Amino acid sequence: MVFPIAGGNESKGYEISNSLRFNDDDSASLSFTPSGNPTDADKFTISCWIKLGNIGVNNAKIYDTGGSDDNNRFALQFQGTNSTLMTSNNSGVSIITSQVLRDPSAWYHVVAAIDSQNSTTNNKHIIYVNGVQADIGTNNLGSTSQVGAMTNGVAQYIGRNGGADNSHFDGYMTEFHFVDGQQLAPTSFGEFDDNGVWIPKKYTGSYGTNGFFLQFKQTGTSQNSSGIGADTSGQDNHFAVSNLAATDVTTDTCTNNFATLNPLTQSEPGNSPTFAEGNLKITMANFDTESVMATIGVTQGKWYWEVKGGWKTSNWGFGIEKASSSNTGFNVGYTSTSYSFSQNGYKQNNSSATQIDSGLSDGDIIGYALDLDNGYFNFSQNGVWYNGSASESTTFDTSNHDFTSLDFGSEFVMPTISAFGDSSITTEINFGNPTFSISSGNNDGKYGNFEYAPPSGYYALCTKRLAEFG
């Protein structure tokens, strides 16, 4: 399994506020067709940060052109289903990394630096990951490797194949730079901090005629400065939006990484759930016992998240479990170290279930408030707290709790979803970047976007808050 994130980055340096969530099931993508000739069709740099959703999507494209020959075709993509990175043109001139990218909890910085006319063959295509030049497992660079990206009249795509509407990227992207006319090192876009961690920095150079910079700060669907694909480089090379909406603009970034579900922790990998929307939407069906944990675990502090959907479907629950139980076939709420709020309004621990709400609807939003400092766990329905044995109230009762005396020692505690039997559920988890529309827009005082206000002193599961309270 991927180890839980134990700390965070509260850096006051260059901060990135937004990312864009691509769901491959929606065929989500961005496109732009330049109307003029590039500064240099054979020399350019692509720099972007990515966080993976579905791993191993066949030939998933980060960037691709719609050209048909070597003079106007270039792709930066995952090669096959191997989770390796590849740059290529139309005739197979390419490099493929030996390094694989398979961690859905991490943000990766990817740079493709291209100079197809470079006199040193191995410098024609260079790939960097997190500031380090990637080892190349396959090298098909020849004496010439004309690529012609950003050519006049040839469509450019982010998140899909240029030749057909397939091979869609699944996950998150942010800080997408295309620098026309320069082959740059990753140090133009990032640096190592005092702890040896690669972090972003502000790019201060030029972009060339057909270059662009996408920050995903807008939520419109038009191809202009108010759109999701707005170019903020000053070149006004704005991208058109396909199958993307305002809810796909998130605050999950490489400078504040939010929790999602972690497909690598599923306990029945031979019968995998279906993950969507950046691993925040899950469909589970026909399992003996299937459990999936989140990407962030905690040992202390107070944390809040929301879960929507499936509450009238039998045999499932969402709650917490210690990290060491991953891949053991447990059902959350059925072990001594797990606690859950489950279908039809039951709270469960160690197979002991008590119904605290008999009036749930499938679209209800259940709030989870976990206090590891004092050993409390509370649940709410559409903003109304159960407050243990007390009367339900929109006011969070600090004296009455649905579970007390939680004690995990030094173990990491993981938000966890479980299902068993032949039922089917589809559920959406909101750790602060919802996949569904929010009508009210509450945060934890600074971070997150929730339908209902977190109790005072409870925080979103993100690395900024972990740095403060985790």
- Assigned architecture for domain 19-250: Sandwich (2.60)
Give residue limits of the domains in the chain. 19-250, 263-469
Residue range 263-469, CATH number: 2.60.120.920
For residue 340, the model assigns a pLDDT of 97
Asked if residues 414 and 408 have their Cβ atoms less than 8 Å apart, the reply is no
For residue 219, the model assigns a pLDDT of 97
Return all residues near 224 (Cβ < 8 A) that are at least 6 apart: 230, 238
> Rounded to 5 degrees, what are φ and ψ at 469?
-130, -5
Average pLDDT over the chain reads 92
Rounded-to-integer distance, Cα 266 and Cα 276, Å? 15
| Angle in degrees, CA 408, 412, 416, rounded to 5 | 95
Low-confidence stretches of the chain (pLDDT < 50) are 1-10
| Angle in degrees, CA 373, 281, 293, rounded to 5 | 40
| Strands 171-180, 212-214: pairing kind | antiparallel
> Rounded to 5 degrees, what are φ and ψ at 94?
-160, 165
Q: Which of 180, 197, 177, 196 is nearest to 188 (CA)?
A: 177
For residue 12, the model assigns a pLDDT of 58
Asked if residues 135 and 215 have their Cβ atoms less than 8 Å apart, the reply is no
Percentages (nearest 5) of helix, strand, coil residues in the chain: 5, 40, 55
Give the tens place of pLDDT for each residue, 84-121: 999 998 778 899 999 999 999 999 999 999 998 899 99
For residue 325, the model assigns a pLDDT of 86
CB atoms within 10 A of CB 188: 19
Same fold, 19-250 and 263-469: yes
| Angle in degrees, CA 168, 176, 294, rounded to 5 | 60
For residue 5, the model assigns a pLDDT of 41
Rounded-to-integer distance, Cα 109 and Cα 62, Å? 12
Cα→Cα distances 20→159, 318, 355, Å: 11, 26, 39
